[in-house]
Amino acid sequence: MFFALSKLLLIFILPFTWFFVCFIASLLVKKPKLKRRLRVASVVILLVFSSPFLINRFADFWDVAPVPLKATPYSCVIVLGGFSSEGADGGGYFNAASDRFIEGVKLLKTGKASHILISSGNGNLIHDNFAEADWVKTQLQQLQIPDSCILIENKSRNTIENAAFSKVVLDKAHLQPPYILVTSAFHMRRSLGIFKHTQIPVVPYPCNYFAGHGKIGFDELIPDSGPFFIWNIYIKELVGTTVNLFR
């Protein structure tokens, strides 16, 4: 129930929804004073959430810095799903978050970890039998990574279940903590809180930076539609992190 409700309520926390509601309301209301305030609010929302400068500064504040890895190998690198999607043919394909997969494989191939755990089932509200971890395992096998090094958790639908179900897999495999946790930079803060709550010691290894990781430039002052999409992601993380504080 909570999973379905969280999916349905997501639309109400998105900045474009706020802009759309204020703008449409300004066209419908009759009172001049209220109409003017709604128009001003819609313009302010548009300017604030289309600013590359503001989203980059928020990302600088929000994103968790990576912790230097120790010289000796870790027993496992945990890669959270969301970096691949189901295709029309029922198979999978890598999406914009595929840096999670790249960094996870790199850590395994360079000897930083002896095992890799892919944690992801199907997070869609309405879904079929496609499980991301199962498809990713086939991609790891194509890279000639031995099955003995691959662990999968293919039932989780969100980050809370990622942590809970991964703990079962790791305990069954008798792999000793701490583990390396790989996920997108915007998602790392919430993930660390959830994994800490689940009592899984992890070292953060953020990747897939959407904002804030580059140099400050003049182009940050030019409004753009891109920040609207990125704010959607960060506001979702902010709300999710706040909710998890009260679990």
Q: DSSP for 112-139?
A: SBS-EEEE-----SS--S--HHHHHHHH
pLDDT digits (tens, 9 = 90+) for 45-86: 999 999 999 999 999 999 999 999 999 999 999 999 999 999
Of the given ranges (54-58, 126-130, 161-165, 240-244), which has the lowest mean pLDDT?
126-130
C-alpha 166/C-alpha 168 separation (Å) is: 5
Please say whether the beta carbons of 29 and 35 come within 8 A: yes
Query: H-helix or E-strand containing 85?
Result: strand 84-86
User: What pLDDT does 212 receive?
Assistant: 87
In angstroms, the Cα distances linking 110 to 22, 71, 72, 85, 203 are: 52, 12, 12, 27, 17
pLDDT higher than 90, residue 4: no
Domain ranges in the chain are 2-63+226-244, 77-207
pLDDT higher than 90, residue 238: yes
User: What's the token pair of residue 86?
Assistant: 């189901």
**CA count, 13 A, side-chain hemisphere, 208:** 24
pTM over 0.75: yes
How many C-beta atoms surround the C-beta of residue 30 within 10 A? Answer: 6
**How is domain 77-207 classified at the architecture level of CATH?**
3-Layer(aba) Sandwich (3.40)
Please say whether the beta carbons of 18 and 45 come within 8 A: yes
